[in-house]
Amino acid sequence: MPSSTVVIGVDSSTQSTKAAFVDAATGRLLAVGRAPHRVTGEAGARESDPEEWWRALGEAVAAGLRESGAAASAVTGIAVAGQQHGLVVLDDAGRPLRPALLWNDTRSAPQATALTAALGGPAAWTARTGSVPVASMTAAKWQWLREHEPYAAESAAAVRLPHDFLTERLAGVAATDPGDASGTCWYSTATGAYDPGLLGLAGLDENLLPPVVPTGATRVGSLTRGAAALLGLPAGIAVAAGTGDNMAAAVGLGLGGAGLLDHPVLSLGTSGTVFAATRTRPASPALAGFAATDGTYLPLACTLNCTLAVDKVAALLGLDRDDAAPGGEAVLLPYLDGERTPDLPAASGLLTGLRHDTTPQQLLGAAYEGAAVTVLRALDEVLRACGLDPADPDVASRPLRLVGGGARGRTWVETVRRLSGRPLLIPETGELVALGAAALAAGAVSGRDAVAVASEWGAGGGTEVPPLERDLATWHRVTSVLAGLVDG
């Protein structure tokens, strides 16, 4: 194998780290090393030790080297894509002062509400950042820390996102990209920089934050000798700025300025996410109006409860996850961790419409339906944010790209087909975040546009699934219950 052909894309997610070894010339996936890390907390708290992420990155790279059979000397670049929004506070030696507050930690919901009001409401926030603070956003978590653990906030010598923390450990350089930065609610998608007024509102010195480089494919530095020794890789290889996990998935699918624009994606994982890459700057209070990592935009809606919540319902019923049937009259909203979209951080699971003849399989099917409807409701809003009419036949006929772990599940696929009425495209690879990160690494090595690299790799291709007639009866039944919950 030529020594210039291997790049590593790292997917540091909520539960684990994956390191994808990719042939930079062809995009062929050589191996994926994996290592778990822990999430702790209860009653809305969700935290992880950033040092575990670092150890897991080393373990995943070592496993990938063994599995791929590649020589370490063949690796020329590395990039990290990480879970968005998490808050990492560091001391002056770069060590975490406390466990990271994760995106799905809902304790900061009151702070998000207060921040929204302090700037004058949702419209004021979307005009500047593209997004309205909710409990998941970094700005809300920082406010929670200031109020509940002021010593940690006052002692912070650096404030980082999860992927920033890992990139800095690799290269010894503080840097982030527009995509992940736009999930903090401190970065303005209108100006392409941190917003001084919002930092003032947070009592946060911009010098505590990493500089924003133009794209996630920018080479921000070289692998340090210390990091190289830990990872078993050559010192001096290219380290890219990297990005957030959703932005990396878009790159992996070839979505962006050098690829496809305005094509919707539905990701079924721990969270349910719908997004599209577009040149239209989004400013809808119903969405997160993120920047993409390549200079375009990534309007996105994210739900907290998706595959993990449905699996929990299956376990409670003693059923296999695919032992499900359409819910019939039953409606089950599996909001086991509160909910982000709609913004209901204190919500819990809700079951209604139960009858004597309701079966366990129907209850499980109702959980699938509740989770799917919740994320699909946001699809039309994402399309409108792209400047498109969801009812336009051309727009409605564009395949919905179905990704994430749920895209490998028969019941998830059929539920989304039935409730969306759209054709689906299921990419062949299940490692789009890591593959997108690998394309960012390849871009850092070669100086090329990462979306163009990923498009040439063809990772966005896959199985096309024709549409079903839309199940409007179930759709209206679930949305009616959901509307009552929101209005109540």
Taking the C-alpha atoms of residue 465 and residue 422, their distance in angstroms, rounded to an integer, is: 9
**Strand pairing of 272-275 and 265-268?**
antiparallel
Known binding residue 362? Answer is no
Residue 459 contacts residue 427 (beta carbons within 8 Å): yes
pLDDT tens digits for range 96-125: 999 999 998 999 999 999 999 999 999 999
460 band by pLDDT with thresholds 50, 70 and 90: confident
Supply the range of the domain harboring residue 92: 6-245
Determine the pLDDT at residue 191.
Answer: 95
The DSSP bridge partners found for residue 34 are: 18
User: Is residue 1 very low, low, confident or very high in pLDDT (cuts 50, 70, 90)?
Assistant: very low
Summarize the confidence of residues 143-158 as an average pLDDT.
98
Residues of the chain with pLDDT > 70: what percent? 99
* Model pLDDT, residue 3: 45
Mean pLDDT calculated for residue range 292-302:
95
Do the Cβ atoms of 105 and 58 come closer than 8 Å?
A: no
pLDDT digits (tens, 9 = 90+) for 68-92: 998 999 999 999 999 999 999 999 9
Pairing of strands 6-12, 16-23: antiparallel
CA dist 21 and 33 (Å) reads 8
**314 domain-assigned:** no
What sign results for the dihedral spanned by CA atoms 257, 262, 263, 264?
Answer: positive
Q: What is the mean pLDDT of residues 275-289?
A: 93
Q: Out of 11, 177, 195, 245, which one is annotated catalytic?
A: 245
Q: What is the mean pLDDT of residues 350-378?
A: 97
Q: How far apart are CA 408 and CA 465, in angstroms?
A: 13
Name the amino acid, one letter, at 320: D
Q: Over 90: is that where the pLDDT of 43 sits?
A: no
67 falls within a domain: yes
What is the pLDDT, as a whole number, of residue 340?
Answer: 81
- The three-state (H, E, C) secondary structure of 417-463, written as one string: HHHHCCCEEEECCCCHHHHHHHHHHHHHHHCCCHHHHHHHHCCCCEE
Amino acid at the residue 446: S
Q: Output the pLDDT for position 19.
A: 98
Between 27-36, 236-245, 452-461, the lowest mean confidence (pLDDT) is in 452-461
Tell whether residue 83 is among the known ligand binding residues: no
Pair of tokens at residue 57: 């990155």
For residue range 352-365, what is the model confidence (pLDDT) as tens digits?
A: 999 999 999 999 99
Determine the pLDDT at residue 2: 41
Instruction: Confirm whether 411 is domain-assigned.
Output: no
156 within domain boundaries: yes
Note if 343 is an active site residue: no
Q: Cα(414)–Cα(171) distance, rounded to whole angstroms?
A: 44
Domain count of the fold of the chain: 1
How sure is the predictor about 462, in pLDDT bands with cuts at 50, 70 and 90? very high
| Position 52, amino acid | E
Alpha carbons 237 and 234: distance in angstroms, whole number? 6
Predicted local distance difference test score (pLDDT) of residue 123: 95
* pTM of this structure: 0.90
Is 92 among the domain residues?
Answer: yes
| pLDDT score at 4 | 61
> What is the pLDDT at residue 345?
83
359 phi-psi bin (left φ>0, alpha ψ -120 to 50, beta other)? beta
What mean pLDDT is predicted for residues 369-376? Answer: 96
Q: Tell me the mean pLDDT in the region 340-355.
A: 91
Residues 425-441, mean pLDDT to the nearest whole number: 94
Res 285 pLDDT > 70: yes
* CATH number of the domain where residue 25 is located: 3.30.420.40
Position 140 pLDDT exceeds 90? yes
Q: Could you check whether the bond before residue 342 is cis, i.e. omega within 30 degrees of 0?
A: yes
